[in-house]
Amino acid sequence: MNIHALRRCPQLRRAYATQPPLPELAKVARTASTPLAVRLRRRKQFGATLEGASDATKDGLTPTEQARYTRLKAQGLLRSEDGKVPTEAEWLEQVNVRRSRVRGFRRMDKEGSASATTQVLGRRVYLPNIVMRLVRNHTPPGQPYNPYEATFRIPQSVTKTDVRSLLQAVYGVKTTYIRTDNYISPWYRTAQGFQRRSYKTYKRAVVGLVDPFYYPLRLEDMEPEKRKEREEWLEKNFNIQHARNLRKQELLRMTMGEGKASFKLNAPYATKRSHIIRIVNERRAQRETMVSNAVEEIRSLREKGEEVDYEKIKPSIRKGLLPPKKPADTSSSSSV
């Protein structure tokens, strides 16, 4: 590859794939995890991509890499030493070799073996005080879990290169891409003033995987019988539903207040739709009764030849606002 092409295209340092070729499902996961701005730009240029499909070419190039290859080829910067223009697959292989070198990897050929291994370059650090916590991926409701992604919570000082090298050197995990974002704790009012909470400030790393990884004991992946048994075990040992009920009660107590500042609901199910509809129907019937009483009173006054006045029809209107009287319970009364 021409050295001038690398100088003119410094974006080649950024990469998706370190260990080509990728499986088809890994390409689909890479497409789904593309940043929003890039997805919008590609949708405007190439059209929408179907859900569960990949936007990679036959040789595994992303649309960005395809456009880069076409541009360099048109500029005449892809000619090799023998004067031939490399194909897309050959160009991608050369680019990935350079990417691996920039990232701190090196392909080592074993003697007497046709396969090659990946070696992590750099100084070894023993007993690092870095905590990388594996958490579940964010999965929107109704969408399947993506096994070609893994999410970690890492310290803010850890970089993408550190994550990639650690996963490759310690666990032998091959990565395709790494996206990081920082979560900063909001300000909280304390006795010493406004402060941030350190446990709410962290860095998240979304890592693309070459080989799928299924989170252990995930309820959504279990059979109905095993899932029910697992939920019963969780409830028995951790009281999840009981904790939710206690949380709801505490929220109601904080909302309703205590003592004179508290208010009480008219019914135990006052927030249910059936109760609301019943109250609306009762008020509608009460309003219709009030209107009919006022109309009858006005009609009787006109028949008598008297002047219609609000003070005269006021008792009939108030009579319609009173709740209906309940019949007396004579069964429980006893004679003296």
Q: Where are the domains of the chain?
A: 3-120, 133-214, 222-259, 273-321
Report the Cα 209 to chain-centroid distance in Å.
Answer: 19
Looking at the predicted structure, is the pLDDT value of residue 89 above 80? yes
What does the alpha-carbon distance between residue 67 and residue 206 come to, in Å, rounded to a whole number?
26
Question: Where does the pLDDT of residue 206 fall: very low under 50, low under 70, confident under 90, or very high at 90 and above?
Answer: very high
The answer to whether 167 and 207 are in contact (CB under 8 A) is yes
Which among 44-58, 147-161, 296-310 has the top mean pLDDT? Answer: 147-161
pLDDT number for residue 26? 82
pLDDT number for residue 16? 43
Looking at the predicted structure, is the pLDDT value of residue 151 above 90? yes
For the chain, what is the mean pLDDT?
Answer: 78
What would you report as the CA-atom Rg of the chain, rounded to the nearest whole angstrom? 36
| Beta-bridge partner residues of 223 | none
Lowest mean pLDDT among 59-68, 106-115, 225-234: 106-115
| pLDDT tens, position by position, 172-185 | 888 888 999 999 99
Reduced to 3 states (helix: H, G, I; strand: E, B; else coil), residue 228 is helix
Looking at the predicted structure, is the pLDDT value of residue 204 above 70? yes
Length of the chain as a residue count: 336
The answer to whether 20 and 96 are in contact (CB under 8 A) is yes
The answer to whether 40 and 154 are in contact (CB under 8 A) is no
pLDDT number for residue 131? 87
Looking at the predicted structure, is the pLDDT value of residue 239 above 80? yes
What does the alpha-carbon distance between residue 258 and residue 87 come to, in Å, rounded to a whole number?
76
| Topology at the third CATH level for domain 133-214 | Alpha-Beta Plaits (3.30.70)
Q: How many CB atoms lie within 10 A of CB 77?
A: 17
Sign of CA dihedral 226, 231, 236, 238: positive
Mean of pLDDT values over 244-255: 84
The answer to whether 99 and 18 are in contact (CB under 8 A) is yes
pLDDT top residue among 265 and 298: 298
pLDDT number for residue 203? 94
Q: What is the DSSP letter of 104?
A: T
pLDDT number for residue 181? 92
Looking at the predicted structure, is the pLDDT value of residue 226 above 80? yes
Distances (CA, A) of 336 to 23, 333: 93, 10
What does the alpha-carbon distance between residue 194 and residue 15 come to, in Å, rounded to a whole number?
41
Lowest mean pLDDT among 21-25, 129-133, 214-218, 328-332: 328-332
State percent of the chain over pLDDT 70: 76
Which is nearest to 169 in space by CA: 117, 206, 236? 117
The answer to whether 245 and 178 are in contact (CB under 8 A) is no
| pLDDT tens, position by position, 19-67 | 556 788 888 888 888 888 888 888 888 888 888 888 888 888 888 888 8
Reduced to 3 states (helix: H, G, I; strand: E, B; else coil), residue 45 is helix
Mean of pLDDT values over 319-330: 57
Lowest mean pLDDT among 42-46, 56-60, 292-296, 321-325: 321-325
Reduced to 3 states (helix: H, G, I; strand: E, B; else coil), residue 273 is helix
Q: What is the DSSP letter of 22?
A: P
- Cβ-count burial of 303 within 10 angstroms (0-12 exposed, 13-18 middle, 19+ buried)? exposed
Looking at the predicted structure, is the pLDDT value of residue 168 above 70? yes
Q: Output the furthest CA–CA distance in the chain (Å, rounded).
A: 123
Which is nearest to 63 in space by CA: 90, 88, 80? 88
The answer to whether 152 and 231 are in contact (CB under 8 A) is no
| pLDDT tens, position by position, 3-26 | 343 333 333 333 344 555 678 888
- Starting at the edge strand that comes first in sequence, how are the strands of the sheet with 175-183 ordered? 133-135, 149-154, 202-209, 175-183
Looking at the predicted structure, is the pLDDT value of residue 153 above 90? yes
pLDDT number for residue 273? 78
What does the alpha-carbon distance between residue 274 and residue 301 come to, in Å, rounded to a whole number?
41
Looking at the predicted structure, is the pLDDT value of residue 207 above 90? yes
Looking at the predicted structure, is the pLDDT value of residue 260 above 70? no
pLDDT number for residue 302? 86
Cβ partners under 8 Å of residue 235, min gap 6 = 241, 242
Looking at the predicted structure, is the pLDDT value of residue 120 above 60? yes
The answer to whether 60 and 15 are in contact (CB under 8 A) is no
Sign of CA dihedral 64, 65, 71, 75: positive
pLDDT number for residue 4? 40
Q: How many CB atoms lie within 10 A of CB 55?
A: 22
